[in-house]
Structure 1
Amino acid sequence: MNLGAIIHRTESEMAYLCDDHTAQIRLKTEKNDIYTVAIIAGDPYSLRSRPDLVPFYQQPQPMKKIMSDAVYDYWQITVTSDKSRLGYAFIITDQNQQQIILTDKGFIAADDQSMLEDMNTYFRMPFFQVIDRFKGIDWVSKTIWYQIFPERFANGDTTNDPKGTKPWDAIVNPKWDDYYGGDLQGVLDHLDHLVDLGVNGIYFNPVFKAPSNHKYDTENYYEIDPDFGDKELFKQVVNAAHTRGIKIMLDAVFNHIGDKSPIWQDVIKNGASSKYADWFHVHDFPVHYTPTDNFEFAVDANYDTFDYTPHMPKLNTANRQVQDYLLNIAKYWVTEFDIDAWRLDVANEIDHHFWRRFHDELQQIKPDFYILGEIWHNSQAWLNGDEFTGVMNYTYTGAIIDHFINHHLNQTALLETLSSQLMLYRDATNAMMFNALDSHDTPRIKTLSHDNMDLVKQMFAFTFMQPGVPSIYYGTEYGMTGENDPDNRKPMVWETQLQDQDMYQTMQQLIIFRKQFATIFAKGSLEFGTENGMLWIQRDDIVGYFNTSQHQQKLDVTTDEVLLSNNFIDGTLLTDGFVICRQTI
């Protein structure tokens, strides 16, 4: 028995409240090392104050091995307490039937009666603090997001086109500084397209006043960029979307600001005497950098920036004035325009203290407000219920791409990676994660798939069955292509002859499917595995099979109800095919 690999942490994703009276408890052990795990759990005070009761340590409950990754097995059980408090320990039996108990005091012998009788031996959930519980948001779990890069979605008003705007062309390879005239009127004009597609959430890339086409270099957080329209038009978009049952999420860049901002310009002009001097991380004055051939790169800026971009000086969010400034902005767009969510750019580079304030003040305004962080790595520290609701689930969807397209992960390695990621977080947290296969930061999925649309459909079907909420990048429903930025930001394909209508119909069907079983995908059981060269995933009574091998596979689903399929012919699942069924009992 490898004791060093037996791990449990209280007040974490390994011990948390599911509801007011129910706790979820997990333990991880070395893969294939442990035969069984049982929990002994109950009211710790009963050991001292209730001699009339059978001691809870005499009533073990078996835990279920729910997942395994490359290193660990994960065991889980749900425990209730009518006293809203819990003491617990784990009875662990290895493959050789050796037994030991893991407690808060460490490992003890299975027959150590004095330790078992001591209430202080046990791991504790001292009181079920409902206010601290991570709470998922019901509407988010039912949302299929549609990401719009405003400058490239639709040009609805040519009178606000910036100088040098190019003709709309969906197959052009745009340059980083090109403009095509996309605006909010274009979004308003095409809302019924989103209704027809079936999505019910819009994630906007930045819409605030900024000199670039991507608007991540914010100049004024309180104004809609005039290239896109104005605040009155934005309010029309929000209201029209809400009327259609579509939620609105804006992209907030609070880590840094654009160097054209009056605030930064004041620092440039007045140096250490600027009233904003402490709003940034300036090492000495005056601020300076040496320009290079790459507009977005400088190696010697004497102030902290996003990446090496001298035009994006980093804000000092430890400064109370900066906090107030940014929080007032965040609240303004909620109170004045009724947006439903913020997506927070470069969220991991801002301090936790600020994000806790952000969370609390936004929740006071709108208790079901969705706070989504852009983080590309382990996000446990941000997902404990007092900062973010979810994060951009790049590691999770990256593993899917690495198996289905890049073949860097075989089937077993894919499932191990997904298991490892899921076990980092609470179940309710996993349901809030944002699952995007492509975006403005990545090559388009059709391009990654070498134009194999069966593979694209298969990946979306697999992703739509995962915990977390799916996102569709504008134009992916029509099979748009594009390499990395800026090629992934082509103007939207509105010409019917250039649209992949078959892909569009598949996406519609997937969205209907996801909505129909939203509760299962948010809260249902999850199992996955491999069988005869196929991946399978099961959510309650819904099971999907995905042939990611190089050979067709026979599959008997005659007793099942087929919900969706592609490349499934007469009981044979072809390469890059999938079939999703509802099992009959």
Structure 2
Amino acid sequence: MNLYAIWHKSHSEYSYHINDETIHLLLRTAKNDIKEVTILFGDPFYWTRDEKNKKYRWDMKDAKMELKYQDELFDYYFIELKVPTKRIRYAFLLVDYEGKSLVYYSKGFSEVSKALESNNLNFFFNYPYMHEEDLNNTPSWVKDTIWYQIFPDRFCNVDNPSQHDWNNTYVRNNEVYGGNLKGITKKLPYIKSVGFNGIYLTPIFKANTAHKYDTVDYYQIDPSFGTNEDFKELVKEAHKLGIKVMLDGVFNHAGFFHPYFQDVVKNNENSKFADAFVIKKWPAVDFDYDDYTIFAQSQKNINYETFATTPYMPKWNFTSKTTEDYLLGVVKYWIDEYNIDAWRLDVSNEISFEFLRKIKKAARESNPDIYILGENWDQALPWLGGDQMDAVMNYFLTNIIWDFIDLKITNIEFKNRLTHYLVGTPKNIINNQYNLISSHDTERIKSRVDNDMRRVKIAHVLLFLSHGTPSVYYGDEIGMEGKQDPNNRRPMIWDESKWDIDFLNFIKKLIKIRKKYHNYNSEMKVLSHGDVLVLKTSDLRLIINNTDKEQKLSIDNKYLDVLNNKVLDFSEIKTIKPFDFYILKKE
């Protein structure tokens, strides 16, 4: 028995409650090392008295765990337990293939007889109490949302003159093309017609750049986008169509020309906003500045902290009462006055945990149904404990899909990576994650695979049939191209003669398939990973040939091809074309 491989931790991805009476427990062991695992558990305060010897014994129960996952190194055993008393102590009884058995608990390992005879429950793992208020309590509407991400300046221009040609295929971040809120409102019926029921807008508040991540006034819509009333109209019309609206909250940093920071530049230590930013030494700004010279300070040792090494984005000080009052006021204002449905928090992993808690509390005070999404590029469990954010942009899954369609990993590596993801993502979180394969921060999926629409389709199949809320970046649905920022931010193509209609219809079908067949209580599982990848997700089977060669199929029986709505007899279909796939339901 390989003791070094055995691992469990209470209150982690290996131990969490999904409601106030149900707990999920996971145990890791070495691959093919353990024959069976039994969990020993009970309420630590429930004891029975033996009438013969007059001694009390703990009322311990047991249950077999399921071998749920396996990767290249480990097996993972899982169980869901009902705990009516909301308290549980537990340990694991392990039996290997040679018949050797041990009990694993929080203090290490013990012989079975000693563990069962002991009345010292301090050795057992402990989950003291399952508080409902410690759960994420993510709004129920989130898991049913299919998001459409919009970069407002490049989406649709209605009566908004610009010196730049909307048809440009080479763009810069300092170019304003005139996309505006009226343009988004105008295109809401199009968004609805594809099947999207949520829009995520990158920043729309007053700022100097086209991307607006350098906020100057958090209470004003940028004039290039329109007015606050234009935004109110957009939200009203979106809600009429059943479309949720998510705003981008840039609360990690402000813009250089935000009036608070300009006051600091002018008055230094004597500014009433001196503690609102993270100033390393005075004077805060010791260089003459205009747009060019500010940018020229990048990666230099300046006197204030910033986002990355970007001098025109000074970092807020989250311990400042001035900062707290101002930013929490912003959070509540757009909920209270404009009825938005969600906040996406930019650079959320660089905002303090304590301030994130305050953001969530303030938002939920205004509307208990608000969704709080974070921009974290890694596994983000410390941020997803229920007290800070509901979900993050799910780059944990994104990177697996990217590497798969980039042909950087084999089917077996895909299976192992998917296992790591499923093990590392608690089931009370996974359905609320924001899944994506393109965004304003990444190259477009079509350009990533050198315009090979076969691989683009495979990527979208994995996106839409994974658990979590899928998102499409504006224009991806019609086959737009674009490498890294800023080239991924080209103006939306509205000339339908230039659309990939076949792919647009494909996206519409995927959305309908997801709505009809998605089972929130299941998860994606690899059934076979030879030359052809076979996956099970919800009640569907995915057959994927992610190679440039025709591959043999070893599938029998008849299945419904749900994408094309026809029955296929696989006793007559013996091969699958390069970079082809099936989405099937058993007849």
Q: TM tier, shorter chain?
A: over 0.9
Q: What does residue 27 of structure 1 align with?
A: 27
Q: Quote the residue 1:213 is aligned against.
A: 210
**Number of aligned residues:** 575
Cα 1:299–1:31 shift into 2, 3 Å: farther
The Cα of 1:296 is off from its aligned counterpart by 7.5
Shift of 1:304: 0.5
**2:112 match: secondary structure:** coil
Query: For residues 115 and 376 of structure 1, what CA distance do their matches in structure 2 show?
Result: 47
Indicate if the aligned counterparts of 1:542 and 1:582 stay in contact, CA closer than 8 A: yes
- Structure 1 residue 545 corresponds to structure 2 residue 543: yes
Q: Which amino acid in the other structure matches residue 236 of structure 2?
A: N
Q: For residue 151 of structure 2, what is the amino acid of its counterpart? A: F
- Tell me the equivalent position of 1:74: 76
State whether residues 248 and 344 of structure 2, in contact with CA within 8 Å, keep that contact through their aligned partners in structure 1: yes
Q: Following the alignment from structure 2 to structure 1, what is the Cα–Cα distance between the partners of residues 28 and 157? A: 53
Contact 1:34 1:93 in 2 (8 A): yes
Q: How does 1:492-511 map to 2 (within 5 A)?
A: 492-511=492-511
Q: Within the alignment, does 1:259 sit opposite 2:260 as a pair?
A: no
Show the 5 A alignment for 1:242-391.
242-288=239-285, 295=296, 297-391=298-392
Amino acid at match of 2:180: D
The runs of 5 or more residues in structure 1 that have no matched partner are none
Q: 1:457 — aligned with what? A: 457
1:461 Cα deviation from its structure 2 partner: 0.5
Local SS of the residue matching 2:382:
helix
Aligned to 2:125: 123
Query: CA offset at residue 176 of structure 1?
Result: 2.4
Contact 2:44 2:121 in 1 (8 A): yes
Residue in 1 aligned with 2:528? 530
Identity %: 36
Pick closer, same or farther for the CA change 1:294–1:557 going to 2, 3 Å: farther
Deviations 1:44-77 (A, max 9, x none): 22235688999654x5311112123343322110
C-alpha distance in 1 between matches for 2:357 and 2:201: 24
Partner of 2:93: 91
Counterpart contact for 2:535–2:541, Cα < 8 Å: yes
Cα 1:102–1:62 change in 2 (3 A) is same
Alpha-carbon offset, residue 193 of structure 1: 0.5
| Structure-2 change in CA distance of 1:201 and 1:295 (3 Å) | farther
Partner of 1:128: helix, strand, or coil?
A: coil
Assess if the C-alpha contact under 8 Å between 2:412 and 2:530 holds in 1: no
CA displacement at 1:123 relative to structure 2: 1.7
Amino acid paired to 1:418: L
The offset of 1:368, in angstroms, is 2.3
Residue 562 of structure 1: aligned partner: 561
Deviation at 1:114, TM superposition (A): 5.9
Whichever residue aligns with residue 560 of structure 1, its letter is: Y
Q: Secondary structure at the match of 2:163?
A: coil
Whichever residue aligns with residue 374 of structure 2, its letter is G
1:386-437 residue CA offsets vs partner (Å, 9 max, x unmatched): 11111111131111111112x2221111221222122223102111111110
Flag the 1:360–1:50 CA change in 2: closer, same or farther, 3 A: farther
Cα root mean square deviation, aligned: 2.3
Aligned to 2:481: 481
Of residues 571, 575, 578, the one that matches 1:575 is 578
Structure 1 position 331, deviation (Å): 0.8
CA 551–55 in structure 1, closer or farther in 2 if over 3 Å, else same: farther
Summarize the Cα distance change of 1:34–1:296 in structure 2 as closer, same or farther, 3 Å threshold: farther
Q: Distance in 2 between matches of 1:498 and 1:578?
A: 26
* 2-structure distance, mates of 1:51, 1:430: 49
Q: Which segment drifts farther, 553-562 or 62-71?
A: 553-562
SS at 1:203 equivalent: strand
8 Å contact from structure 2 (residues 440, 489) kept in 1: yes
3-state SS of paired residue (1:305): coil
The 5 A counterparts of 1:62-211 are: 62-112=64-114, 115-158=117-160, 161=161, 165-169=163-167, 172-211=169-208
SS at match of 1:412: helix
Q: CA 1:289–1:374 in 2, change beyond 3 Å: closer, same or farther?
A: farther
Distance 1:205 1:307 in 2: 19
Secondary structure in 2 matching 1:25: strand
**Secondary structure of the structure 2 residue equivalent to 1:313:** coil
Distance 2:92 2:225 in 1: 59
- Residue in 2 that maps onto 1:425: 425
Structure 2 counterpart of 1:563, one-letter code: V
- When structure 1 is superposed on structure 2, of 272-281 and 292-301 the one drifting more is 292-301
Q: Look up the equivalent residue of 2:534 and give its one-letter code.
A: W
Given the superposition, is the C-alpha separation of residues 421 and 292 from structure 1 closer, same or farther in structure 2, using an over 3 Å criterion?
Answer: farther
Stretch deviating more after TM superposition (177-186 or 132-141): 132-141
Does structure 1 retain, via aligned residues, the 8 Å contact 2:207–2:213?
yes
How far 1:218 sits from its partner (Å)? 0.3
Normalising by structure 1, what TM-score?
0.93
Distance 1:357 1:334, change over 3 A: same
**Which residue identity does 2:225 align to in structure 1?**
F
Write the deviation string for residues 63-105 of structure 1: whole angstroms up to 9, x where unpaired.
1121233433221101112222222110112233221111233
Indicate how the Cα distance of structure 1 residues 559 and 296 shifts in structure 2: closer, same or farther if over 3 A, else same: farther
Question: What is the match of residue 468 of structure 1?
Answer: 468
Counterpart in 1 of 2:440? Answer: 440
Q: Counterpart of 2:577 in 1: which secondary structure? A: strand
Segments of 5+ residues of structure 2 without an aligned counterpart are none
The one-character-per-residue Cα deviations of 1:134-187 (angstroms, maximum 9, x if unpaired) are: 3343211111100000000000122xx4xx531211x52112212211000100
Q: d(CA) in 1 for partners of 2:124 and 2:57?
A: 17
CA distance in 2, matches of 1:344, 1:120: 41
CA change 1:415–1:51 in 2 (3 A) is farther
Kindly state the Cα deviation for residue 551 of structure 1 after the two structures are TM-superposed: 2.7
Find the residue that maps to 1:278 and give its secondary structure.
Answer: coil
The alpha carbon displacement at 1:13 in A equals: 2.1
TM-score by length of 2: 0.93
